[in-house]
Each structure stands twice: as structure tokens, then as C-alpha cells.
Structure 1
């Protein structure tokens, strides 16, 4: 029996080194299942130099990872310091040799092994200038490791953020994938979206037509707990919020027919201990139950105020048994019943457009706004001089990782669907960008729904700004876990109105005369809806618009037929005209 077992182990080790062409590739769905739960070899090759942030890689690490029960190892790698700054952008051969040695340590123990580009922020800082260098780096990576087994997986870029845009991320993924496919036609490749591989950004990810792709996201929410040691975690609402996020990702995965890898998740060592163990347990279980593979972040650092995020001690070769058990064992530290599935909102008949304008806040009454802030940022608000009589004065001081804002507590849970725009008067002490944010209502008590934003660059003198609701975009740097994921701005369930931002700028804002704007009053009963231009809005116009939607060659007044003024004539205008005729 021992001889048979030894033979099986020997064969598996040999096969891990065989190139894919010898025994065939594995599809991405099966690869994600094979990866299961793994861990990151963090702060090692993603440091400026190996050993500068944490202990250098040792072969025995992989023996310990194997004995613990992990199925894959992710090896983050920073290529910048090891690559020529100018053409031909050669990667240092000694560094490639070292990377290959560590890859082989991992593969020889049967691990699925992920290598990536990590902390290469130079690409994100100036994409158009640096993409050529990045392509050459990946050309050399792909060429060097083309003969490795299917268990080696490439991840194009860790946590795109900063100056790089969604369209540039999509362009990069396509470019690098094309390079990889020249020498690695069936190797599994991991691609991710922007804002630090946020799950919110997956909707912006264009998926190339390739059968061997895996999508990734990272999860460190709530950030105030995982990274800033604030409070505890583990209530029913805490767990429901994470489950909603993973449900959202799963729906996206199924819709796009691409499996998912949770490439990083973790809690800093100074967070509440009981909560941290429970958080690891719950997040790992949610990943596996949703069909994701997952890799816990470990950077080998203990005791540091800023960087303690480890559960494996590289010197003593001991794991934090509580954390290890929480990661690898299902449901050992919590009791949780999944929330009842809620049905999506039923289809709605479009609201009849409002005309004119409605003043919703002139700051002449009692103070109804409140300030909030976090992570070393501060904000306050008070009634002060406005453009006309009183106004709102906001004083804010940002921080590099902080956020600040003010929220209107009077106009919560509103239906603004019949309105076209929002307007307000604004003056600033500088031209710092500010966000106007509208949060939708959520089905979870006390939580926000989807966040929609519009970026304002105010003047230092009073200016009236009108913003069409159609110009708001979904917030990408953060979304509440309780978002409905509809990807549509649902004005019939406005939850709250905010002025806010997340950066290190400081200054003072003055706001006055917030209004909702409808259709121009001169169009009431005169033009909008008068499809045949006979001066009346009646069943004849309704019938003519119906004919036009079936046959666009029919002559109509297209300006009058665009009931909702969105530039298109479609079924929405048809429905709105019907409501106008019914008097709704």
C-alpha cells in the first residue's frame, strides 16, 4: 500500500511539471473548483526587493501550506524594479530565475499557483505612455513559463486604481491576453476590474471571447473594521450585507458565464479578535458556497501597527490555529440564517412628467442637514449666508484615505421620477471637486441602496448648476452591500441627498436653493404630446405615435413626440403620452 501511495505522489509531482500540451488544459470552471481555498504569499515579491517587507520566500513555506490544507498559492510580483525603464524593457534574468524557482516549489507540491503583476502603479499612473513596457514584460513572462503545467495561472494586473480608466483596463486585458495566447493558448488567465478590483466595478469589465478566463474581485469590507480596527463584526445585518455582495457577484458571474476568484480578503491583526475569526469564517464560507475560489491575504507581518495582516509565522512555521480553522472549516464560529429572498421591484408605468420647478430646500427653516466623516477627515455644516437670505455652509478637511459629507435628513425616501433635473446654487472657497450623491432606498432597514453621483467643480462665486438625472453615474469606488444591483437609477425610490467626497482636499462650500426641475412650463398642453401638430393632445396623437413606433417613416413632429425629452422616441414616450391623456 505504501509503495502504491508513493507511486501516486511521484506521478502527481511529475505531472505538475509537465507542459499543458502533454496532458491537456483544464477549463476555467474546473480550475476554480480545483483552486478551492488558498493563501497569498504577500509582501514577498510584491515588495521593492525580496525580503524588504517580510521574510524572503523559503521552500518550507509550501510544505506548511500543503500540510495546513490549502489548495492554491497566489504569488504577488512587482516587476518594475527588475525591468529596464527603456526599450527593450528586459526583465532581469536573475529575478526571473528566482521567480521560476519559487513557482516550481509550489507546483511540485501540487498547488495551483497564481502569479501576477502587483503594485506596478507606474502603469496606472500613465497608461498610454507605459502600456508598451507592460506588454513587453508580459511577453517575457509568457515566454519564460509557457512550458509549465496547467496549474500555473496568470493574473494580468492586481487592483487597478488611480488614473487608469475602465476603458483602459479593458484595453489592457485584451492586449495582454493576446500576448499570452501566442505562447500559452489554453492557460487560465485571471482578469479584474477597476477601483482596487472592487466587486462594484465588475459591471464595467468587458470579457474577451476566450474560454479560459477567470474574473477576480477583492473583499475587505467593512473597511473600518478590517483595516481601521473600529468596532466589532458579526451581527445578523453584518452577515446579510456580505451575503448580498456575494449574491450580486454570483448573479454577474452566471450572467456573463465566467467563474470567479476572490483573490484577496483579510483582517488586520489589531481588529477585535473574536470578530476577526468570525469574519474569516463567514467570508470563506460565502465564497465557497457561491462557487468561488478564494485566497486569504497573508503578508508574514506580525505586530506592525500599519501592516499586521498575517496568520502564518514564517519563522516559527506556526499558523494561527483559530484563523486557519475559520478559513478552512465551514461555519464553526457563527449561526446565520440567510435572509428571505426578496422579489425585484415589479415593472412600473413611467410617471407623468412634472412641469416647471419645485423648491425643496432654501435653508430658511430649521437645520435639517447633518455632517459625517471618517478616517481622519472632518466635516461640519451650519446655516449661514446664502445666495438669497440663508444658505448652508459646509467646512471640510479631507485625508488621503478619508471621506466626508453632509446629508439632507428632511428629504428622505422621496419619489422624484416625474422630475428631469436637480439644480442648486453653489459657491466654494476653491475649485476642489465635490460629488453630489443620491442614495436609493434599500430593503434593509438603516442601509443605503445604490449610490449615484455627479462630480461638480464649483466656482468661487455663486453659480447655478442644473444636472439632468440622466447624467448621474453609478458610484464605483464604493457601493453599500444592500444595493439592489439593478444598474439603473431608480428615481422613484430616492433615499437621501448628499454633498460629499473622498480625497485629501479641504475647503468651504456654500449651498442654496435646491430645486427639482421638470419640463418647461411653456410646453404644458401646447407642444409636448401634440404629435400631429393640430394644437390638441388627444387620442389621434396617441394613435399616430403608435403607428410611428411600428413604422418610423411615418411623418410626425418628433420634438413633440419626445415626451420625456431624452432625445429618443420609444415605448417610454408612448406610455407617458397615455398617462397624460388619462390624467395620471
Structure 2
């Protein structure tokens, strides 16, 4: 009897020992899985948003049926960044509110482009996890726009910021990608992961939400660098590859992403590059869901630099006609919508020279009106670039008071009215 008790005690001790060992192993395994060197098995974050039914329409029919004629950019807001971290208010604009969105819609705009900079909110490789707070805030702003009745575009904006050949702020670097295969793979992997997560998060949103792959990607020379002119094909191929990866990752992300409208830019989002045979639209698993985009500030010395204060000659207007006309046979006549994702002209102020300032003001009104009217003539959708600025030494594109949603001046009110009247 005593021997049996001892045997039972020994057996119990052995079993407890095995259990403790197993628990320790599980704890160690869990600790290992959560370390930075391990890939998390957690699914991507998905917004708790009611699944909406897609229209089932092609992009061309959707734009036509929804009467999408003119758009507006929420510039220098979610695309702003401080150091290497995307923000919202770090460039001087206030946090986005519903009044602003309501004002943009009431002014007559149909679609809003919300540029987003994600850098600084992206974790380490290989996961590249996007911070939930960033996804949530972008979602909140997107929903404000939708609540106002606007269609929406979001993108990767200053993640690819390259002001010149010596200044590179973003991680989506084509300059590094052409020089080093390892850098190309590293950057491409991050691009792929980021779009997987964005698409997964917004998968339940209807087809009123569109994704744009990237913004003005170039090597710092804006298409004029020695490297690009010597071998443009290498950089153009990377842009095509990134657009294809973007398309594939969005399509595989579930929900409405299978048919979501995707906005595709060419090199530097340049109009001339968009018309070349070297720009390839990605192969897509569903037909008719692509939208082409380009940016237009020509002539730059008037539209964006503010170095020229007169515009409106016959030659000036003919250039706009010549620049826009080829998009109709190239894309529109093939039922591919085209948006001018950014356009406009800066406010020019000349203290002490009222005549020059008045000429600049009149030229600006005429230019913006003519660009929008010529876009309408060729069935393009112009989207005005508004960075919120009306003072200071930088580019002054602001039209709306970002707090109230009202035009910020009588001139701005006139410009908005001219834009809308030109396309509707």
C-alpha cells in the first residue's frame, strides 16, 4: 500500500513536470513569435465599416452615371510630413472637419483627392505594419468626404517625395531602385505590403472610394536628369512594375477590392509620359476598372512658380488645346476615364505694384477657367490642387477656409464659380 502511494506520487510529480515544461515551451514560442525578427500571424486590420454593394459598372460608366465632372485636392494636410513622418496639421492647415467637406460639395465639386503620406507610420520589414491610428484617421477623413456626397481618391503621396537630385524625403525611391537591385527589392516589398494593408482596411467601402498607386515618382530630375535621359526605359519599367504590383495586391485584398476603381499614373504623373507607348496600363483581373491620371500646371513659370504674371495669348490657349486633345483618342474613346489629378495656378501678390498684381489676378482667372473648359471639351476630369495657402513665400493655391468650408476670398469664390461653370 505504502509502495503504491509512493509510485502514484512519483507519477504525479512527473506529469506536473511535463506540464510545466510544455507551458514554458509555449511561452517561449509566443515570445519568439512576437519578436521583431518574426512575422506576425495576425490578420491585417479591417475597418469596422458595413460592407457596401458595388455598382458593377465600369469606371467609364460610373464617372458618366455619377456625373463626375470636377474635383478638388485636400492638399498639404494628410500628405504633410515633419521630418520623415506623415501628419495632418504640420504644414499649417487645421485638422479636417465635416464643414470643410460640406463646403467643397456645396461649391459644386464631385470628387475629392485626399493625398496621404504614410511614412513614419510604417513598421519594420518584413511586415511593414501600418500604425492603426494612421489608418483610422485616414478612414475618418474619407468618411467625412463620403458623408458630404463626394467621391474619394486616396494615394501614397510624399512617400515618394524627391524634390531634386540631391534631396530625397520619401522611401519610395526610384533613384535608389535603379542603382541597386537589393534596394529595388526592399522598396518594392514595402510598397507591396503597404498597399495590401490599405486595401484590406478599406475593403468594405463602396466603389466611391478609389485608390491611386503613387504620386509624381521620378529620380529628382522631373524627367530631365542625366540618368533618365541616358536610360529612361529602366525607370519607366519600374513604374509599370509598381503599378502592376499595386493592381495585383488590391485585387487580392478581399471585399470590394475585386472591382475597385484604380487610378494609374505614368512616370512623374507627367502628361507627355502618359501618352507614350512606354506607359503600360497594368493587366487586370476585371475589365474596365482603371482610371488614368496626369498633373497639369503648364506653363510652370505661371501655373506653379509664379514667375510669369501674364497668360492668355492665342499661343497660350492653343498649348492647352494641344496638350489635352490627344487624351481623347488615346483613352477616352477606348472608355478609359482620365482625371487631371492636380491642376491650377498660384495666387501672385505684388505689393507696391497694383497694375502687375491685377494683371496676374485676371490671368489666373482666365487660365483656370480655360483649363477646366478644355478638360471638359475632351471629357477629362480636372481636379484643382488646393494646398490651403494664401499668404507667405510659398505656393499659394488656397481657395477654401479650411475651418468653415467657405471660399477664403471674393477672388476664390470667383475662381470656384468659373471652374464649376466651365464643366457643368
**Aligned residue number for residue 51 of structure 1:** 89
Q: Which one of the candidate residues 151, 172, 191 is aligned to 2:208?
A: 151
Q: Residue 199 of structure 1 contacts residue 218 of structure 1 at CA under 8 Å; is this kept in 2?
A: no
1:282–1:74 CA distance, 2 compared to 1 (3 A): same
CA deviations 1:120-175 (Å, max 9, x no partner) are 12212433131101110100000000100110011111112117811000000111
1:46–1:206 CA distance, 2 compared to 1 (3 A): same
TM-score after normalising by structure 1:
0.52
Q: Summarize the alignment of residues 278-317 of structure 1 with structure 2, pairs less than 5 Å apart.
A: 278-315=366-403, 317=405
Q: Summarize the alignment of residues 324-473 of structure 1 with structure 2, pairs less than 5 Å apart.
A: 324-330=416-422
Q: Residue 376 of structure 2 contacts residue 423 of structure 2 at CA under 8 Å; is this kept in 1?
A: no
Q: Which one of the candidate residues 94, 107, 125 is aligned to 2:133?
A: 94
Query: What secondary structure does 1:313 align onto?
Result: coil
Query: What secondary structure does 2:172 align onto?
Result: helix
Unaligned runs of 5+ in 1: 1-16, 333-584
1:94–1:252 CA distance, 2 compared to 1 (3 A): same
CA deviations 1:68-121 (Å, max 9, x no partner) are 111111100011121114321000001111111111111122211100110112
CA deviations 1:323-378 (Å, max 9, x no partner) are 1112111299xxxxxxxxxxxxxxxxxxxxxxxxxxxxxxxxxxxxxxxxxxxxxx
Measure the CA separation in 2 of the matches of 1:74 and 1:197. Answer: 17
**Aligned residue number for residue 206 of structure 1:** 280
**How far did 1:32 drift?**
3.1
Q: Which one of the candidate residues 203, 228, 241 is aligned to 2:305?
A: 228
Query: What secondary structure does 2:416 align onto?
Result: helix
CA deviations 1:254-281 (Å, max 9, x no partner) are 4755221111001111171100111110
Q: Which one of the candidate residues 329, 335, 342 is aligned to 1:251?
A: 329
1:123–1:71 CA distance, 2 compared to 1 (3 A): same
**How far did 1:23 drift?**
4.8
Q: Residue 18 of structure 1 contacts residue 149 of structure 1 at CA under 8 Å; is this kept in 2?
A: no
1:298–1:214 CA distance, 2 compared to 1 (3 A): same
Query: What secondary structure does 2:205 align onto?
Result: coil
Q: Residue 154 of structure 2 contacts residue 210 of structure 2 at CA under 8 Å; is this kept in 1?
A: yes
CA deviations 1:158-217 (Å, max 9, x no partner) are 112117811000000111100100121100000010134333343121112332000001
Residue 25 (str. 1) matches residue 56 (str. 2): yes
Measure the CA separation in 1 of the matches of 2:90 and 2:54. Answer: 39
**Aligned residue number for residue 166 of structure 1:** 236
**How far did 1:293 drift?**
1.5
Residue 134 (str. 1) matches residue 207 (str. 2): no
1:198–1:246 CA distance, 2 compared to 1 (3 A): closer
1:331–1:91 CA distance, 2 compared to 1 (3 A): closer
Unaligned runs of 5+ in 2: 1-48, 82-86, 161-170, 178-183, 221-233, 350-359
CA deviations 1:472-525 (Å, max 9, x no partner) are xxxxxxxxxxxxxxxxxxxxxxxxxxxxxxxxxxxxxxxxxxxxxxxxxxxxxx
Q: Residue 191 of structure 1 contacts residue 213 of structure 1 at CA under 8 Å; is this kept in 2?
A: yes
Query: What secondary structure does 1:165 align onto?
Result: helix
TM-score after normalising by structure 2:
0.71
Residue 108 (str. 1) matches residue 147 (str. 2): yes
Measure the CA separation in 2 of the matches of 1:133 and 1:144. Answer: 17
Residue 42 (str. 1) matches residue 80 (str. 2): no
Residue 80 (str. 1) matches residue 153 (str. 2): no
1:26–1:257 CA distance, 2 compared to 1 (3 A): closer
RMSD: 2.0
**Aligned residue number for residue 172 of structure 2:** 123
Q: Summarize the alignment of residues 265-284 of structure 1 with structure 2, pairs less than 5 Å apart.
A: 265-270=343-348, 272-284=360-372
Query: What secondary structure does 2:138 align onto?
Result: helix
**How far did 1:302 drift?**
1.3
1:102–1:331 CA distance, 2 compared to 1 (3 A): closer
Measure the CA separation in 2 of the matches of 1:223 and 1:329. Answer: 25
1:231–1:302 CA distance, 2 compared to 1 (3 A): closer
Measure the CA separation in 2 of the matches of 1:57 and 1:331. Answer: 27
**Aligned residue number for residue 16 of structure 2:** none
1:307–1:155 CA distance, 2 compared to 1 (3 A): same
Q: Residue 26 of structure 1 contacts residue 150 of structure 1 at CA under 8 Å; is this kept in 2?
A: no
**How far did 1:38 drift?**
1.2
- Which has more helix, going by share of residues? 2
1:79–1:36 CA distance, 2 compared to 1 (3 A): same
Structure ID, larger Rg: 1
Measure the CA separation in 1 of the matches of 2:423 and 2:151. Answer: 25
Q: Residue 32 of structure 1 contacts residue 292 of structure 1 at CA under 8 Å; is this kept in 2?
A: no
Query: What secondary structure does 2:263 align onto?
Result: strand
